[in-house]
Amino acid sequence: MLRFGALVLCGGKSRRIGKNKAYLLKDNEPFISIIVNKLSEIFEEVVIAVDETQKYTQIINNRVKVVEDKRNYYGPIEGLRQGLKISQKDYIFVCGCDMPNISKDCIIELAGYIDYSYECILPFIEKPQVLHGFYSKSLYTKIESGSYFSIKGLLDDVKVKYVSKFNCNIKESVININTKEDYIKFLGGANG
């Protein structure tokens, strides 16, 4: 197991798709269950950041910690803030609840770039993949200051290691589902 933690962001409103993305299905299993199961195989600590705890009671168990967003309308940066606050680890792997193809191999490969001189380690696949990377616990203080309204804004002020070459299928691992069209396409191409 990796000595770092993991954080799944589940606080979005899912407006573009019209339903809670965490409960979209792949092979009759909710995305959130797939993701938590994969992360639990890699990390000792798995945290889920949610907008409302009662929406997620069916997946809460002794394997995961749940933290609720305290500030509305901040989006993923608020989930990251709460996750970093509760985490006991130096770094946490952050992903969205709409990423059922995250790859254990890709996560482990990315973790290999952590050397404590960078505050973030992110894949760069056409653009920075901000919801598929490692974030240092030290970033909590910066985010807590309240001057950041997005993760991308935070990245402008921190030391980031961008990784663009992988041995794993990183393009598959970073796929996220945002719209009904994305989901239909995903189901058509999903093969288990």
Cα dist from 60 to 5, 46, 68, 95, 178, whole Å: 17, 11, 13, 17, 24
Which residue from 68, 78, 177, 158 is spatially nearest to 118, judged by alpha carbons? 158
CA angle 18, 37, 186 (to 5 degrees): 40
pTM of the model: 0.91
What does DSSP assign to residue 154? H
Q: pLDDT tens, 150-184?
A: 899 999 999 999 999 999 999 999 999 988 889 98
The mean of the pLDDT values for the chain is 89
pLDDT of residue 90: 96
Start-to-end Cα distance in the chain: 24
Fill in the DSSP letter of residue 119: S
- Residue 20 banded pLDDT, cuts 50, 70, 90: confident
pLDDT tens readout for residues 76-135: 899 999 999 999 999 999 999 999 999 999 999 999 999 999 999 999 999 999 999 999
What pLDDT is recorded for position 59? 65
Pairwise pLDDT comparison (65 vs 158), residue with the higher score: 158
Residue 45 backbone phi and psi in degrees, to 5: -120, 125
Helix or strand run (H / E) with residue 72: none
Contact between 9 and 97 (Cβ < 8 Å): yes
At residue 82, the 3 state secondary structure works out as helix
Closest CA to 11 of 47, 61, 62, 58: 47
- What is the enclosing helix (H) or strand (E) of 79? helix 76-86
3-state secondary structure of 188: helix
Rounded to whole angstroms, the Cα distance separating 3 from 23 reads 28
**Nearest by Cα to 50 from 38, 33, 66:** 66
